[in-house]
């Protein structure tokens, strides 16, 4: 199984794509978030992933840098279904507000002949806090991160040999997530900037954390592998080096600061 970061940046980046990624198990794909526009199609192409094979998508929340790329995927899927160039079905998961937003946008901007495929072959599936689904033959549990900004869900996925991967969305860890985060083999957590530059980027005012914060959390909860994303892009050419240097001071496991399109074997 492998993970490909399609994008690693926060909402306002211009030198990389907004944070989203794809989990791949042989010929099956599970995409998490879709960035802020049709750039997601370009990122998938650059990653060597056929968008038509991405049959399961999860949108964590309705902020535009996570949701609007999904609208483009919906357009492509429905258009190709209408043209008989898309076989089978596809699923988009999200909490009720995400699903309602996607449905409303689709009804406003897609052709009627395309909208007709919603819930017939393109299924918009609202999930509840603690609900489980089987995706790529693996148990996935969705959970509310209890954001004070906007409703947002994360998820945890069963890996082989009893291990698990947990995604906390794009906000700092909340104590309500403890049962999912503790003991994760892989943890995906946002890190808006270096702790040493918190006075420059003001992450806490934006409901985000620093590299130090995320690494201390992972160390405390026995995480084996930590992936940091949703960062600023002002230090992009040195981001990996700088973030690794700060993070390794606080986390003794395997630390990853991926670039766009980088693939990690799980």
Q: Tell me the per-residue pLDDT of 31-47, one tens digit each, with 9 for 90 and over.
A: 999 999 999 999 999 99
Instruction: Please tell me the total count of domains within the chain.
Output: 1
What's phi and psi for 82, nearest 5 deg? -65, -30
The pLDDT of residue 107 is 97
CA end-to-end distance (rounded Å), the chain: 6
Structure tokens at 255: 């630390």
pTM of the predicted model, to two decimals? 0.98
Query: Is 92 exposed, middle or buried (CB count within 10 Å of its CB: 0-12, 13-18, 19+)?
Result: buried
Spatial separation of the C-alpha atoms in residues 190 and 173, rounded to whole Å: 9
Q: Identify the segments of the chain with pLDDT beneath 50.
A: none
Are β-strands 2-7 and 263-265 bridged in parallel, bridged antiparallel, or unpaired? antiparallel
- For residue 113, the domain's CATH number is 3.60.15.10
Structure tokens at 24: 């791949």
Domain of 241 in residue numbering reads as 2-265
What's phi and psi for 220, nearest 5 deg? -65, -35
Beta bridge partners of 218: none
Cα Rg of the chain (Å, integer): 18
Query: Is 131 exposed, middle or buried (CB count within 10 Å of its CB: 0-12, 13-18, 19+)?
Result: middle
The 3 state secondary structure assigned to 208-241 is: CCEHHHHHHHHHHCCCCEEEEECECCCCHHHHHH
The pLDDT of residue 222 is 96
Q: Tell me the per-residue pLDDT of 123-176, one tens digit each, with 9 for 90 and over.
A: 999 999 999 999 999 999 999 999 989 999 999 999 998 999 999 999 999 999
């Amino acid at each position: 199984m492998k993970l490909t970061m399609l994008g690693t940046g926060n909402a306002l980046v211009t030198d990389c794509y907004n944070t989203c990624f794809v989990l791949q198990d042989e010929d099956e794909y599970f995409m998490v978030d879709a960035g802020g526009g049709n750039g997601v199609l370009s990122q998938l192409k650059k990653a060597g992933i056929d968008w038509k094979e991405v049959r399961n998508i999860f949108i964590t929340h309705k902020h535009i840098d996570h949701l609007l790329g999904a609208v483009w995927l919906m357009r492509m899927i429905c258009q190709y279904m209408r043209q008989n160039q898309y076989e089978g079905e596809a699923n988009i998961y999200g909490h009720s507000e995400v699903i309602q937003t996607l449905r409303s946008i689709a009804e406003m901007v897609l052709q009627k002949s395309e909208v007709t495929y919603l819930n017939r072959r393109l299924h918009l599936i609202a999930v509840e806090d603690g609900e489980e689904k089987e995706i790529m033959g693996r148990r996935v549990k969705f959970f509310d991160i209890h954001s004070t900004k906007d409703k947002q869900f994360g998820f945890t996925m069963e890996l082989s040999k009893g291990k698990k991967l947990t995604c906390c969305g794009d906000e700092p860890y909340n104590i309500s997530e403890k049962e999912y985060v503790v003991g994760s083999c892989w943890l995906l957590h946002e890190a808006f900037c270096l702790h040493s530059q918190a006075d420059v980027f003001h992450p806490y005012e934006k409901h985000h954390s620093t590299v130090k914060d995320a690494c201390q959390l992972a160390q405390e909860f026995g995480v084996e592998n930590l992936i940091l994303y949703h960062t600023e892009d002002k230090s992009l050419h040195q981001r990996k080096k700088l973030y690794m240097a700060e993070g390794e001071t606080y986390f003794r496991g395997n630390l990853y600061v991926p670039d766009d399109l980088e693939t990690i074997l799980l």
